Structure 1
Amino acid sequence: MKKIIAVAACLWVSACADYGFDPIEAVSPAANSVKPLDEASTSRLYLSVVNGLIEQGRYRAALAYLDQYAVQEKKTPYFLRLYGEALLGTKQYDAAAEAFSDLERSDLKPDGLNGVGRVKAAQGHWAAAVDYFQRAVAARPSSAEFLNNLGYAQLCVGKDGIAEAEFNLRQAQELDPASTSIRNNLVIALMMAGKDGEARRLLSGISTTRERAEVQAFATAWLEQRSRTENTTEEDM
């Protein structure tokens, strides 16, 4: 869908010029194929370009364009979601949580809940992150992304969440079998649950030796770090 939007943007390059920048540098189509866009379409194109910046990790640039957009346009739910992403990417956690929270009164409520959960996770508040991810999953049960986030947060909470984490990550993998993030988190969950044989079988499905070794090393390092953290916490108590 994003590629389609990008192509559409090429049909009306000057539309985004109203916002002070030309995001698409491409050869224009034949003049007779160019159709003017209405104001709503122009707005969507602008935000689609901003979304592309966020996907590239250019959060500060995205934030600048969003601030510029907010001067002229209404803050739609889509704008708030992108704004929250840009703020989170620049580690402005309180402002990001506020932007995501504003989505709870819109049709993007699940994305808002997931966004606040990610803010809590970035701050290391894993119990709070679990709460928000659970609410996001309840609002959109078929989201592999939300289930993956919930499962990982449950792993970070500790031993009490391992069984639930494994269940959620298995469900996420069935919904999105191609996701390497879900697969890697499931490997960790299986190893934490003492199911090393199943973890090895999951690893054996990785096509290249190098990637298989990297995932195994990552999971092992994650578990070792988790163990050190738990031991330090127990000593402090």
Structure 2
Amino acid sequence: MRAFIVGLTAALLATGCAYHPPAPEGARADAPDNLTCNDKIQPEEQVQLDRVDTLMARDHNHAALAQLEARPLSTVGHWVRYGQLKASTGRLDEAETIFSGLVEQCGSGRGHHGLGMVLLKKDEVMAALDQLRQARELKPASAQVRNDYGYVLLMVGEYGAAAYELRTAMELGDGQGPVRQNLAVAYLLTENWAGLQWMTQEYDFDAKERAYAERLAATFRSVQ
């Protein structure tokens, strides 16, 4: 999902992060009948999921979806990837149904995270924030969840709270991925110069990255 949030950045900022109220619960389709809350992955299933993950990492999402559909979706891990791939191939309503099922039937932190990201892509920003907040409560040590939650906090102008979440994500993820830019933006927006110095010293945050973060920060300021 890291690529998912990166890809959303420019588009969401360009639209001014408009909020459209979520559809009523009754308008959403029921969860698939065969959805399972089983979390135990058998060795042969892990081989399949590793193959799917490799294809997803190469952005071959249609092929990854085909590989996933070649065998029964027998664990939560299968269904999470199924929802992610439905979203990444443009089937947002189907993805929302899958993740809603994982939330309602399994109480899954990954379900809340996936649902939040789908709602964000549908411009339902406040509904997305609520789902990501719940994902953060259920999976507090997930760098990806903390990053995505922090990013949406930035979108709604809660810069101080965003900086806290993103600093946590930065440390959990050892400074890798889009959290570098997101945290730098949060520090610029809160004028936390010591935080920016810490990023430079601990994670080699360079001048080119800072210049890009400054442009993003200016865009955030302009849409608030």
Q: Same fold (TM over 0.5)?
A: yes
2:73–2:79 Cα contact (<8 Å) kept: no
1:166–1:186 Cα contact (<8 Å) kept: yes
User: Are 1:110 and 2:109 an aligned pair?
Assistant: yes
Larger radius of gyration: 1
Deviation of 1:196 (Å): 3.5
Residue type of the partner of 1:84? G
Residue of structure 2 in register with 1:60 after alignment: 62
Name the structure, 1 or 2, with higher relative contact order (CA <8 Å, separation 6+): 2
Taking only the aligned residue pairs, the percentage that are identical comes to 26
* In structure 1, distance between residues paired with 2:203 and 2:53: 31
Any unmatched runs of 5+ in structure 1?
A: 1-39, 231-237
More helix per residue: 1
Change (3 A) 1:65 1:146: same
**How many matched pairs?**
182
Instruction: Give the alignment's TM-score, normalised by structure 1.
Output: 0.68
CA offset digits 1:5-61 (Å, max 9, x no partner): xxxxxxxxxxxxxxxxxxxxxxxxxxxxxxxxxxx5433322321122112211111
* In structure 2, distance between residues paired with 1:43 and 1:194: 48
Deviation of 1:133 (Å): 0.9
Any unmatched runs of 5+ in structure 2?
A: 1-41
* In structure 2, distance between residues paired with 1:47 and 1:205: 34
Root-mean-square deviation over aligned CA pairs: 2.2
> 2:90 is paired with a residue of what secondary structure?
coil
| Map 1:21-170 → 2, pairs under 5 A | 40-69=42-71, 73-104=72-103, 105-106=105-106, 109-158=108-157, 161-170=158-167
Residue of structure 2 in register with 1:217 after alignment: 211
Change (3 A) 1:125 1:172: same
* In structure 2, distance between residues paired with 1:90 and 1:64: 12
CA offset digits 1:102-159 (Å, max 9, x no partner): 222337x11111111111222333222211111001112222221111111100112x
1:130–1:154 Cα contact (<8 Å) kept: yes
Deviation of 1:95 (Å): 1.2
- Residue of 182, 185, 200 corresponding to 1:185: 182
* In structure 1, distance between residues paired with 2:68 and 2:173: 31
Residue type of the partner of 1:99? I
Change (3 A) 1:192 1:50: same
Instruction: Give the alignment's TM-score, normalised by structure 2.
Output: 0.72
1:152–1:185 Cα contact (<8 Å) kept: yes
Residue type of the partner of 2:106? S
